[in-house]
Structure 1
Amino acid sequence: MADTSDTRTPAQIEADIQRRRDVLAETLDEIGVRVHPKTIVGDAKAKVASNIDHTLGRAYVGVNRAVSQVKARFVDDEGAPRLERIVPVALVVVGVVGLLAVGARRRKR
């Protein structure tokens, strides 16, 4: 059988009630802030911004890796250009640009 006698004084009981009211008021205030529309919108914006930052970071790393790989094909370890690879690519680019220019000139006529 549980002991139901309370040996606290009325002042102690009132102080305990006041502490519980304060804790309850703080909890209700916190809930009010959490469910406030501005808080919800702010949290959603922060989450979207975080996701965008994460995606952009991953994209940056991917692009940086691709650029490094392309650079490694056209430059040796010492930083000197690899002419045996650059010259053929340059010739192809010049040829494609020339064909595009000829095609554009024929369309204008």
Structure 2
Amino acid sequence: MRGGVELTDCPAQVSADFGGDTVADTADTRTPAQIEADIERRRAVLAETLDEIGVRVHPKTIMGDAKARVVSNVDHTLGRAYVRVNGVVSEVKGQFVDAEGSPRLERVVPVAVLLVGVVGLLAVGSRRRGGSARRRR
């Protein structure tokens, strides 16, 4: 039907055309009490639907949904980062520890010497800068 509403879940077929002044009624055999009960039932359904819409469009609901999506995305990203970091740590550990869990001295010693050298250079450099700053005062 064009521009109208057709109610098909009623015991009798009722059709209405809201485009003009006429309403077509095809043998409605319901009693006034049945019609009133139908109207009340439809009002209750409509009120429930409007309440649901009100909850969905409420700013707190929208913000809560947005926060939940952000938290989910952050959790997902952090989970992936954790897995990646764990893989890198395992890879590095595999370079310095053999299958039995013993350290590979041929790899640990050169790295340790290198680290001690870098720390020593940083210490010497900071002393030089610290000493020249004291002399300027």
Question: How many residue pairs are counted as aligned between the two chains?
Answer: 107
Partner of 1:23: 45
Deviation at 1:7, TM superposition (A): 2.1
Deviation at 1:50, TM superposition (A): 1.2
Residue 93 of structure 2 corresponds to residue 94 of structure 1: no
Q: Percent identity?
A: 79
Partner of 1:45: 67
Instruction: For 2:121, give the aligned amino acid.
Output: L
Partner of 2:34: 12
State the distance in 2 between where 1:76 and 1:13 align: 84
Deviation at 1:66, TM superposition (A): 0.8
Instruction: Tell me the TM-score normalized by structure 2.
Output: 0.73
Gaps of 5+ in 2: 1-12, 14-25, 132-137
State the distance in 2 between where 1:29 and 1:11 align: 27
Higher Cα radius of gyration:
2
The structure carrying a bigger helix percent of its residues is 1
Gaps of 5+ in 1: none
State the distance in 2 between where 1:5 and 1:64 align: 75
SS in 1 for 2:27: coil
Return structure 1 stretches of 4+ with deviation > 3 angstroms. Answer: none
The structure carrying a bigger strand percent of its residues is 2
Instruction: Tell me the TM-score normalized by structure 1.
Output: 0.91
> Mean alpha-carbon deviation: is it higher for 4-13 or for 49-58?
4-13
Alignment root-mean-square deviation, CA:
1.2
Residue 93 of structure 2 corresponds to residue 71 of structure 1: yes
SS in 2 for 1:81: coil
